[in-house]
Amino acid sequence: MTAPAAEPKLASRAPDVAFIFKKALISALVALVLFSLMIGIRTEAGPAGQLIYLTRFGELAAVVAAVFGGSIVVELLRQWWGPVGTIRIVPPSVQRTLAVARRAIAPVLLIFTFLVPVIFYDQRYILDLGILVLTYVMLGWGLNVVVGLAGLLDLGYVAFYAVGAYSYALLATNFGLSFWVCLPMAGILAAFWGVLLGFPVLRLRGDYLAIVTLAFGEIIRLVIINWQSLTGGPNGVSSIPRPSFFGIPLTPGDDGLAAKLGIEFSPTHRIVFLFYIILALALLTNWVTIRLRRLPIGRAWEALREDEVACRALGINTTTTKLTAFATGAMFGGFAGAFFATRQGFISPESFTFQESALVLAIVVLGGMGSQLGVALAALTMIGGFELFRGLDQYRMLVFGLAMVLLMIWRPRGLIGHRAPTVFLQHSQAISSDLVKEGHG
C-alpha cells in the first residue's frame, strides 16, 4: 500500500500552473458572458418614460476579476486539501498535527458539550441553541443508520420525528402519562411506522425509494393536519407536560426540585435539565449505533449498501435487514420527537415539514455517510453556523450556500469521508471513500 502511494506524491508536488491558469481563465470568460448583461448594463426608465441604459463596466470588471481569483484559490485549495486518500501537498508535519487534532476532536467535543451548561449557565440563548444542535445531532445519527449504513435514501425522516412528538403529546395530554413512560412508547410507535413504511418500499431502489419516502413524510403531515378530532389539526397540541426529575417536577412550588434541594428556583434549571436529557438521548443513539455496527446486523446493513446481490448469495435476508434499518432509524427519530414535544410544550404540523427532512439529510450527507463524528460536526456547522451568520442579515443564506459549495469541493463525500472497519486483526486502517459504495436502494 505504501510503495505505490509514494510515487504520485512526488509527481503532483508542483501544482500544474498552466492548468490552474487555464481553468481560471475559462471561469472568468464564463463569468464575463454571464454578467455582461446582468451587471454590465443596467436599464432604467428615463425622464420621459423611455428606456435608457447605464453601463457599469467597473463592477463587471470587479466581478470577473473576483471569479478569476476565486477560481485559482479554489483550485489551489483543492490540490492541497484533496478528498481523503488522494495525495496532498501539505507538509508531513502539518499532516501529523492534523491527525492528532482529528483524534482528539471527539473527546474534546464531548467534554465541552458536558460543560456547556456550566460555562454558559446565565446565557439562555446559548443553552437553547445547544439543545437545538443536540436534537439535530440525534436526528442525524438516527437517519445515519438508514442512509449512511444501510444506504437507503430516506427523504421522509421527519415523519418519524412527528410520530414520536405526537405520540408523547397525545399520550401525555389525554392519559396523563409521564415523559419517561412515553419516551420508549414513542420510540416503539415510530419504529412500527418505520416497518410500515419499509414494507411497500422494499423493492424500490434509488430515486424511486426517495420519492416514496418523501410522499410518506407528507402523508403523515397531512393526516396530522386533517385528523382534527385526534391531533387538533393545524391548531396543534398545547400544554404538553414538562419532564420531571424522577417524579419531582421542576416547578417553583413547595414540591418542586429546587425547594427539595433547598436552593432558589430558577427557570434555567429546566433548560439545563433538558440539555442533559437530549445529550443523554443523543449519546444513547451514538452508543447503540456504534455497537450495532460491530454486530452482524450492522455489518449486514453495510454489506447491503455495498452489494445487495452478494448479500442474498450469502444467505442474508435482505427484507428483514432493510426493515430493521428503517425501524432502528425511525425509533431514534421517535425519541427525538418526544423530546421535541416536551421541550416546546406545544407542537403543530408546521414543525414537521419536508424542510426538516432535507435539513437532517443534509447533515448526514455533509457529515460523511456513515460517520458518527462527521454527522455531529455537520449538525454543529449547519445549525450553529446558521445562527452564527445571523449578524449578516440578508447575506446569511449567501454565505451559508457558499460554505456548502466550498465544503463539497474539498470533501465530496462529507466532512469525514472515510470508513472505519468494524473489526480488525492487526491494525485498523481507514478505508478511502472511493471504495465505499453509497448504496442504491
Partner 1 sequence: MNGKSILTVDHLSMRFGGIVAVSDLSFDAERGKITALIGPNGAGKTTVFNCITGFYKPTLGAMRMTHLDGRAIQLERLNDFRISKLAKVARTFQNIRLFPGMTALENLMVAQHNALMLASGLTFLGLIGAPSWRTAEKRAIDLARLWLDRIGLIDRADDAAGNLPYGDQRRLEIARAMCTEPALLCLDEPAAGLNARESAALSELLLSIRTDHGTSILLIEHDMSVVMEISDHVVVMDYGVKIAEGTPQDIRDDPKVIAAYLGADEEEAIAVMESGT
Interface positions with partner 1 (CB under 8 A): 1, 288, 291-292, 295-297, 299-300, 302-303, 306-307, 309-318, 324, 419, 421-429, 431-432, 435-437
- Closest separation in Å from C-beta 381 to partner 1: 25
CA–CA distances in Å: residue 234 to residues 159, 193, 223, 227, 240: 16, 22, 11, 9, 16
Nearer to partner 1, 204 or 258 (CB): 204
Residue placing its CB nearer to partner 1 in the complex, 85 or 249: 85
The nearer residue to partner 1, 343 or 419, going by C-beta atoms, is 419
Distances (CA, A) of 86 to 39, 81, 90, 344: 39, 9, 12, 46
At 269 the three-state DSSP class reads helix
Q: Render 148-187 in DSSP notation, one character per residue.
A: IIS----S-THHHHHHHHHHHHHHHHHH---HHHHHHHHH
Q: Which residues neighbour 327 within 8 Å (Cβ) at sequence distance 6 or greater?
A: 191, 192, 194, 195, 198
**Separation CA 63–CA 349 (nearest Å):** 43
Give CA–CA dist 61/118, Å, rounded. Answer: 52
Neighbours of 314 (CB within 10 A): 10
Question: 4 or 49: whose CB is closer to partner 1?
Answer: 4
Q: How far is the CB of 363 from partner 1 (least distance, A)?
A: 21
Query: In the complex with partner 1, which residue's Cβ is closer, 32 or 297?
Result: 297
CB of 292 to partner 1, least distance (A): 7
Closest distance of CB 203 from partner 1, Å: 12
- Min. distance of Cβ 163 from partner 1 in angstroms? 23
Closest CA to 379 of 415, 343, 338: 415
Amino acid at 20: I
Report the residue number, 360 or 416, with the smaller CB distance to partner 1.
Answer: 416
Closest distance of CB 301 from partner 1, Å: 10
CA within 13 Å, CB half, 349: 18
Rounded to whole angstroms, how far apart are CA atoms 344 and 332?
Answer: 18
Q: For residues 301 and 95, what is the distance between their CA atoms, to the nearest angstrom?
A: 33
Minimal distance, residue 218 CB to partner 1, in Å: 32
Q: Which helix (H) or strand (E) is 19 found in, with range?
A: helix 17-35
Q: For partner 1, which is the closer residue by CB, 71 or 289? A: 289
159/364 with CB nearer partner 1: 364
The residue among 244 and 422 lying less far from partner 1, judged by its C-beta, is: 422
State the residue for C-alpha cell 398545547. Answer: 238
| Nearest distance from C-beta of residue 368 to partner 1, angstroms | 13
Name the minimum Å distance from CB 411 to partner 1: 17
d(CA 66, CA 211): 39
